[in-house]
Amino acid sequence: MIRIGIAVMLSLMIGLGNCLLAHAQEGGGSTNGQPDGGWVGSAADADLEHAYDLMAEDGREREVIAICERLLPTLQDGDDASSTVDCLFLLGEAHYYLNEWAKAAGYMQRAWDLGNANFADEMSSYPLKVIGECQFEQGQHEQALATFRQRVAVLRAQDDAFDLPGALFDVGSTLINLEREEEAIGILTEALSANDDRAAVLKDDPAHATDEARAGTVVDHAEITYHLAIANFHLERYDVARTFLEQAYTFFSSIQESGFYDVSDRLVSVLDDLVLVNEELGDTLAAGRYQRERDALNQ
């Protein structure tokens, strides 16, 4: 059996918080999920704030690591749990962007443990996402699945409608990689519903319903739909897979035309798979049409 979409990705969900740690805390300097009370004013906190600024720039990860490695002993000695968690966050994030998976997971685990020990109700679930992705990248797929499931449980307890769809997506896509497609379909279907709920929340909240945020929910809808197609294709449910692929293609096309995100590579992947699934179904006319569209995009 031909298997489409083998390289199932965990980080494609654009609109659901796959960004820097500041996304975990609206409008403030602290990114570990605590209420932002402002910086204490010490030299260490000033340096930590500078590290945050550097993290927002491309290619500055090594500088961030150097600052945070120097600051960490001082923050720990000062018994400042909030700033220590932020420092560990930054170390984990910087190593993550450098593809240094083991180090990234280690620092994020320390941030998660310390944050939960001191302010569990206000701790962001973001470290669990990074830990899971690092485990996945190291081939530790069962461990990654357990971590992603843990994050889903945390978000349910927090009643977090914003991040839950992405967390469910991570569980579903990992299940596909583990060839547990039936389970994946159930989780991804739930992720699709959760993303619709998130879109409804944005609709009722004009202050946060920016064009970019709305576009993000459409990309996420397309990505979840695409993975539902992958799971069904693996189960040889070709008619169902084709339906989901056609839906994903429509959503990705609308986003590409809107100009908010460049999803041209994803469109090519979906078109590749539409060619395959139509060939499996014996629809040579459709396969040829999608192949021509794919070739035009590749020019």
Asked if pLDDT for residue 27 goes beyond 60, the answer is no
What are the pLDDT digits (tens) for 229-285?
A: 999 999 999 999 999 999 999 999 999 998 888 999 999 999 999 999 999 999 999
Write the pLDDT tens digit of every residue in 122-145.
899 999 999 999 999 999 999 999
Q: What is the pLDDT of residue 110?
A: 97
CB 232 within 8 A of CB 185: yes
The span from the first CA to the last CA of the chain, in angstroms, equals: 30
Share of the chain above pLDDT 70, in %: 85
Between 33 and 80, whose confidence is greater? 80
Q: Which tokens belong to 93? A: 């994030």
* Statement: residue 11 has pLDDT above 50: no
| pLDDT for 98 | 97
Q: Which two tokens stand for residue 268?
A: 């090519």
CB 277 within 8 A of CB 242: yes
Checking if the pLDDT of 34 tops 70, the result is no
Please state the pTM of the whole predicted model: 0.85
Question: Mind listing the domains of the chain with CATH numbers?
Answer: 18-159 (1.25.40.10), 162-299 (1.25.40.10)
The yes-or-no verdict on residue 1 having pLDDT over 90 is: no
